[in-house]
Chains A and B, each alone.
Chain A
């Protein structure tokens, strides 16, 4: 009996020892030229036309190419699959395509692929998920094997933005054969990385495209292999990064990023993103007119008071941190047409109190303060409002539910954020919120007219002028209280040479090992 027990114990010990010895080899990285990354969401399909998450943009930039490329630093549009482009008139663009480009399956790229893809995706019957990416295209016609014309339905200045950001070109014959579902299981593009392994929603393995064309503004990729996993839980990702099983993660909360920054093997960059934070107020008085609520925010003085009451610099510096900065205008500073030359409201609680008294609220008032994320920022603002006598009751809701509430005109003030879909144009920020659509809480006809004029002209000077007028009026009327820009904490291995950009699309094809 005794021997049997001791034998068992010995076996157990051996198993534990073996486990210890086997453990360890998982840490990859620089040594085997494999970049291990983790992102949050399961993609429904890696076909860019049939997904909506940011992960879809990141995947597309690596595996596919667009006709144009937007330089992440200068925001200049350069040729990618197209060598050059020119506007023939307001609604016709002509593109000369690059010769000698090959798809990952060996097929040659030519005008046929471009014509097929753009006509296919812009046909509403094919049910591309984001119709606004494609519904501006009337038709794409072939001039010769390496020259095409894109005909627009109406003048659409964001065409360049979409051609560089949203509309990748796939191989015609292959896509026609397999369709979006088959393509989603085995994607093929011309991009700097080939997808060699795909477990839907879970894991993608990308390897360097050795034959990537030399003239690409994306540059030749350097890192040999990228293993991309879907991991929703931040703590798990942090642990994997600390042990070296992951080389790159992002969207790390500031407190955790701070701790990571102290570790010897990890770099942290709190990079500014295009996401902006702001307060929207019910200037159109929908809560008053439609819901019969008492609405102080219809008074411009109250809206100005809110602008003076919030200490945005303190929140930006102390809570958001990193490269975050204060904004005065209702757009991201680099966006085309975004001017900061508007009325500015300094942090001045005394002035806020005075304005409130003038508006008939010497003792302030009480209202529901809505939000859907970043509770600490919202709480700081509630505190600032309290200091000038306004009693804000904080309601943090789910995004979709809150959006429904706003659309129904039941919200008086909301702390909102917006990433402009990474589009570097005012039409994607102020244009989205002030053109009389369902989330427009100001509904100012004059602003709507200016913005729409800007959206449908391809004359840059005219666009700048009308957008400037609209933004100035928005600030004068204090329809919003613009707050600050957001940052994304990119945390990665010290071995990795990586640069994040404000459009929040990580570019691993530009990354290198140190």
Chain B
């Protein structure tokens, strides 16, 4: 297990390094940061001043090392728009995005795993079809559109839920459903497929033949094995949700990281964009690592490979 963990950790570090280099270079290529920093009506002279002042005239490699060196210590520089430390701005807004991501993932799992199980124990019946329809609808509908439909139905007509903002848990209900519903089909299908495969296997027959209760066979023996790929998927989906909440955050006026990233791109606020890209990709890398390790715990065969 130790060797496996170290190997995975090394790989994750390599990926993180690559991501940081690529994101740094891509952002530099997307436009001249000196022009962005100098502002809209800056003269050529002012732009030159900014270029020298911020060290943007140095070779890219030097700039990268300088930036990465500070980033490791948690210093992402100052936002060129807000003129405040990037770390403070992100720290201020990450809570909303994390809350939304966790709730949405929870919602997707709670909705899709039972549906997947139901569909697997009654395959090719109306129940299976219904579960499939419900979940596929989630993927077929663009999330912003679904968000707006909910706003009209639950916010305007029924007035059950507040439409925008992040003041209370009730404000998170609609965004959670909108963001989480999109991920349900993947979870549902994976659970269904996993359960079908496991339920057809010999050890389940043996378990049933021993006279164990159906519920116990289902949850203790079958689900544990069927759910392994779902764990990896959950990690990937969580990364998706953090990055993909851009649209949902703007529809429901939640001032989180996604919204900040979107606005920062429009404002050419490179230090913020760079920090968010790095942070989200690091979260992604960490999640993948965690899911690998979790899988290894759940399935000892993986450790040997």
Contacts and interface: CB of A to CB of B under 8 A. Distances in A.
B170 A235 contact: no
A246 to B, nearest CB: 9
Interface string B138-180: 0000000000100110011001111111000010010000000
A199 B250 CA distance: 17
Interface string B59-88: 000000000000000000000011110000
Interface residues of B, number: 28
Interface stretch (A18-26, A187-195, A285-293, A487-495): A18-26
Given A42-B263, A44-B83, A202 B159 contact: no
Contacts of A52: 40
A332 B196 CA distance: 72
A232 B252 CA distance: 9
Contacts, number: 73
B253 A23 contact: no
A277 B155 CA distance: 37
Contacts of B156: 239, 242-243
Interface in A24-71: 24, 26, 38, 42, 44-45, 50, 52
B39 A239 contact: no
A42 B163 CA distance: 19
Interface in A207-247: 229-233, 235-236, 239-240, 242-243, 245
B164 A236 contact: yes
Given A230-B255, A232-B253, A236-B163, A45 B151 contact: no
B163 A239 contact: yes
A20 B160 contact: yes
Contacts of B162: 23, 26, 245
B143 to A, nearest CB: 13
A229 B167 CA distance: 12
B165 A129 contact: no
Given A231-B164, A236-B163, A45 B83 contact: yes
B160 A235 contact: no
A23 B159 contact: yes
B131 interface: no
A181 interface: yes
B80 to A, nearest CB: 9
Contacts of B252: 236
B263 A239 contact: no
B160 A229 contact: no
Contacts of A19: 160-161, 170, 173
A50 B81 CA distance: 10
B155 A239 contact: yes
A200 interface: yes
Contact of B83 (A23, A181, A231): A181
Nearest to B215: A1
B34 interface: no
Contact of A245 (B83, B92, B160, B163): B163
Contacts of B165: 229
Contact of A23 (B39, B148, B170, B255): B170
B251 interface: yes
A333 to B, nearest CB: 27
A455 B217 CA distance: 87
A376 interface: no
Contacts of B250: 232-233
A201 interface: yes
A317 B152 CA distance: 31
A230 B254 CA distance: 10
Contacts of A23: 159-162, 170
B17 to A, nearest CB: 33
Given A45-B83, A200-B82, A235 B251 contact: yes
A240 B163 contact: yes
A200 B84 CA distance: 11
A262 to B, nearest CB: 15
Nearest to A21: B160
17 contacts: A19-B170, A19-B173, A22-B170, A24-B159, A44-B81, A50-B83, A181-B83, A199-B255, A200-B84, A229-B253, A230-B255, A231-B164, A235-B148, A236-B151, A239-B152, A245-B163, A245-B164
Given A129-B39, A199-B255, A242-B156, 13 more contacts: A22-B170, A23-B160, A23-B161, A38-B253, A44-B83, A45-B83, A202-B255, A229-B165, A232-B259, A233-B251, A239-B151, A243-B159, A243-B163
Interface of A: 19-20, 22-24, 26, 38, 42, 44-45, 50, 52, 129, 181, 199-202, 229-233, 235-236, 239-240, 242-243, 245, 400
